[in-house]
Structure 1
Amino acid sequence: MKSASIRARTLGWVLLLFISVSGIIAWSSFHDATHEVEELYDAHLAQQARLIDSLLVGMDATSMSQVAKLRLLNTMEQTTLQTPDTGKSGHQYESKVVFQVWKDEQLVLRSRSAPSGQLTQKLQGYVNERVDQHIWRVFVLNQPSNAYRILMAERDDVRGELVSKIALRTLLPDLLGIPLLALLIWWAIGRGLQPLNQLAELLRKRDPRSLQPLALSPLPKELDTIQEAVNLLMLQLKELLAREQRFIADAAHELRTPLSVLSLHTQNALQASNPQEQQESLQELQQGIERTTRIVSQLLTLARLEPETEQQRVKVNPLKVTRDVLAELAPLAWQDKVELQLLNEEDTSWELQLEPGSLEILLQNLVTNALRHTPKGRRIAVHWQVTQEDSLQVAVIDQGCGVSDQEKPLLLQRFYRKGSYTGSGLGLAIVARLVERHQARLTLDDTPGGGLTVRITWPMGGHSQRVASC
């Protein structure tokens, strides 16, 4: 299922937040407006009640006879009971605003629409009462200075209609403005995302074979971060392709000559005139196959030692691994009449945190390289020891012809061969790569009496000493 675009998602969230916040604000405004309207209407009820009270008190204060006062009250009541002409000077709400005047529990005066019965029994203040299927808001004015009890009342639908109009006029602009706001936000988001579209268009038009970094500027901070990440990925891909091309070039370079030699030995074996020549050619063919196999193995080992292929480290007993490697290489040493020695006691051992198999590869390459450069009857020694800096060090000591100081740095380069040596030139390069991966230190020293000593020192704290029990 295809997800919505960033533009649509952003618009949806913005509108949701806007409507939510606007709704809360509108509800608060509506609540405040309702309260203010209620206060205003209550004030009008009180004002009208006091006006009637003032009129009655003033009438009582005159020198009019009781009969004249009764006639005046009757005339006022008849006037208020007449049906108003709402078409000319009246208002449709007049019938919904009423009053009653009581004196000594007797109805003295009332408006036309007022119920004949008492609106409320409350003696003073505001109260809501249900009378004749309607809710009335009643204000009771009962002055201690006179006997009049004035009731001003207003039907609830008057206030309800006004509150509804206020709410509608409050919400209507928002309701009508949301579509227009959505269009404006859609346009604004599109303008804001224009750099992203430019970046996407640049990537679409880019040659798939091009690994050059992107250079789109200026960019917002967020897109600049994406561009940096893409450029970093391009650089990593470029390095990966370079490593692959280097491996292919190395393999082609190293396998071209051995394959040519194998082809030559095969032709010699096929064209041999007698069994002895054929046997010699087959032996040389076998040796060539072994050398080619060794080159391929070393090339694959070197390819595995790239930074991205780092493996989880495990505890390794270096003396045990050394004894196993020397036992494996003993037949080659016997064939060349070279003595292999481990200059460590059996009851002493250490532990190292190394990648699985790395120490075996390292020792095999060092000892094999020493075997090829050590004359018959000489010795190759391997010695583990703890240095003064509390680091663990292994030394592979041969009694060969040695190496000059100018050539020592070259030994660690790929495919470097010394003299007439016919190896692949990858052994010490693999050793150097393993040393680098484990943050160790490699040094090449002269062996007293002739030869080369390769020392590898593991970092401080990278080992722990352990003495075996008797």
Structure 2
Amino acid sequence: MLSIRARNILLVSALTLLVILVGTSAAYIAMFYGLQKQEATQLEQDASLIDEAYRNGLSGRQPGGLEVDVYDQKSGERIYPSDVPALTLSDLNQTSESVLRRSYAGRNYVIVLQPTEFAGAPLLLAVRKDITYLQNVARDALTVLAGVVLGMLIISIAAVYVVTRTALAPLVDVSRQTRAINENNLKPIEYQGADDELGLLVGTLNRTLNRLGEAIHQQKILLAEASHELRTPLTAISGYLRRAEREVPEEQKQYIRDAARVAESMTRLVNDLLQLSRGEIQQSYTPHFIELEEQLQEVSRDFPGLEVQTSGLLEMIGDPERLMQVWRNLVSNAARAAGDIEKVHIQATRTGDLLRVEVVDRGPGISDEEKEKIFQKFYRGKHSGSSGLGLTIVAQIVRMHQGNIQVLDTPGGGATFSVELPALEEE
């Protein structure tokens, strides 16, 4: 798409060219036909004078660039010989048109027919004048006009460009500064122009940026305070669970270990949120050999009723705690959207060098507009019911594992979060 400056230049230049072409064309046509009409009128006057001269008994060719042929009015025969082709009887009988135009030997003539008498005999005078010079003058005039049009067009385009560039310079500068605005750069737009429409627009944008910056600052403060408040009870819960694991019977220790694992995951999540309040998450990464099928089965124990389907050799290198954050977050979001954990299931397969894990739900689904924003920080979808940080952390963890995550439509309704991770090479 063309810029505003380019569109203005093209529009004004086109209008200028149209005005120039219409004006010069009208002037050319008026000049050419005006000259022809003037020549015909003058020729009619000259024919009247010659008629008068013949009636008074004069004969011969007349000066002034005129040539006279004499025809018998009845037979149409030319009386005096001439090197110019004679008119036909049909031409001589055109009483409705007294001015004829003919071309001979590359020359253009205007001929006026004038009835007269000589010695009592009815004659017809054909007064002829060479007007070839008029075409030459018109052709030269057209060349001059074309040069004038081209020169005016070049000058007008240059003038329009200079004027448009000067007039739109503040708008271009504001547009450049606006493109640089993002969540990490909310600096007000600098504008030194008049308080016109652009000045009012810049003022409105700056006020909006100030309010947005304050809102983001308040979000970060709330996030930091909430994270600090949650760390203490989670630390205490982890301590109680470790002590309980030592004291309970062996058959109950698995439940304590599962609860401790969830508490540790929550503690890590709270730490991530605290870092997120200060900027981007600086996640630790401790790689281990992972049996993805076993890990997904652990997730199913945390969410009773969750079905897990796996196929192929699902082995990889990664941070197990971080990946558990991914699966728990995706499953909890899917269960919240679907309203029932039994409407959610996990499918894990291996395709070549990739492991694909799909968390599928039968909920209301996600619109195309939300799909483009769902992994953005603080974005909350219509059915999320969350703070808008979980999927941001999930996307960062997946990228940390050199993987990819996307959201798709579930056939028949719902949403599918598809995670692709590099698989461990088979020996």
TM-score by length of structure 2 reads 0.48
